[in-house]
Amino acid sequence: MEMKNNIKRACIYLPIAMLLIVVLSACGSKKVQKSETKTGTTQEVKHTEKVSFSYSEIEGIGKDPVYNRRDPSDIIKVDNKYYIWYTRMDKPVRSGYWGTIWYATSEDEGHTWQEQGMALGLGKEGAFDSHSVFTPNILAYKGKYYMYYTGVQPTPGNPDKKFEGNSTTDFTAIGVAVADSPEGPFKRPKNNVVIAHSEVSSDFDSYRVDDASLLVRDGKIWLYYKGRCIEHGKKGAHHTQMGVAIADNPEGPFKKYDHPLIEKGHEVLIWNQNGGVASLASLSKSIHWAKNGLDFSPVAKELTTIPMAPGLYRPHLEDGNTANEVPGWGICMRQSKGEAHLFRYEMKHLD
């Protein structure tokens, strides 16, 4: 533990100094250690526990008497409008496994939204996404807009062609749809599955793949996602891990990294930070950082009141925007019995 008269000076050198980690306190305690990574490099890791989250209701796509909305995408700005995509269901259905993807726009940094319509409906009969499409995310790249989403088909062998939500045969996949405008229409390219579950039962992503989050790094497309192992059965959601796959272009092919990056990373939220990549891991209530985007180490632990299924305003997802600064606001979800709706959140440091 460092002496108090050294802490203020140490704060200047903290590598993750903004957004979720922008939350350093001049009176907080920090611990510095050297971390040996899986790729054989060494990165300096500095810990802080000072992270502040605040929440507010939103208009337009918040609480609704007819629809539930959940799992918002990251947010991009095109001209003078902010765009967000999310899963929508008819009440009282709360699960995204019975949803479609809709979108909304805002002109006041996410306080007020106008729902614009459906962005992506169900796939054709027999397709991997013919029962539900959900958990969207977005990437603007070289004049086009790429929507990554999770899809599921009716349970194989179900006589009524219904989705059972079991833990043995209801595999998911991540697909992509492409548009020339953020307002669509988004069209599925041929063979549009970009991430499929592993065929090796012991792999962390052998049952479910979901929750894509994108980066352009070193001229390549990095797709972070969460995976669930089929060997965990009904308890699989409690063992979710984060992985990554990399491609030369947004439609793939994507090559998976050979092992998971973060344990207990149920919802995937990542962003560029100080030459590396930062990530919020909701199950472990922590923030991690990796200089190379692969070897993550915790930089904040035991967080409280963290956002659920958050999407973040990320300027570096916008086509040609080289900004590394990430404003500290986004949209998350809250749910209760028969209810799921979207909230605005902010992340600040405690002075």
Task: Measure the CA–CA gap between 163 and 160, rounded to whole angstroms.
Answer: 9
What is the separation of C-alpha 53 from the centre of its chain, rounded to a whole number of angstroms?
Answer: 17
Q: φ and ψ at 137, to 5 degrees?
A: -145, 170
pLDDT in tens, the chain (351 residues): 444 444 344 443 333 334 333 333 323 333 434 444 454 443 443 444 467 789 999 999 999 999 999 999 999 999 999 999 999 999 999 999 999 999 999 999 999 999 999 999 999 999 999 999 999 999 999 999 999 999 999 999 999 999 999 999 999 999 999 999 999 999 999 999 999 999 999 999 999 999 999 999 999 999 999 999 999 988 888 889 999 999 999 999 999 999 999 987 667 899 888 889 999 887 778 889 999 999 999 888 888 888 999 999 998 788 777 666 666 899 999 999 889 999 999 987 544
Find, among 191, 203, 317, the residue nearest to 257 by Cα: 203
Name the amino acid, one letter, at 162: K
Residue-wise over 107-135: b if at least 16 C-beta within 10 A, else e?
eeebebbebeeebbebbeeebbbbbbbbb
User: Under a CB-based contact definition with an 8 Å cutoff, are residues 110 and 344 in contact?
Assistant: yes
User: Under a CB-based contact definition with an 8 Å cutoff, are residues 163 and 155 in contact?
Assistant: yes
Domain boundaries, the chain: 4-348
What is the assigned CATH class of domain 4-348?
mainly beta
Neighbours of 309 (CB within 10 A): 24
Task: Measure the CA–CA gap between 255 and 239, rounded to whole angstroms.
Answer: 23
Length of the chain in residues, anyone? 351
Q: Judge if the upstream peptide bond of residue 15 is cis by omega within 30 degrees of 0.
A: no
- Tell me whether residue 165 is exposed, middle or buried, using C-beta atoms within 10 angstroms of its C-beta: 0 to 12, 13 to 18, 19 or more: exposed
Give the tokens for residue 74: 């990251």
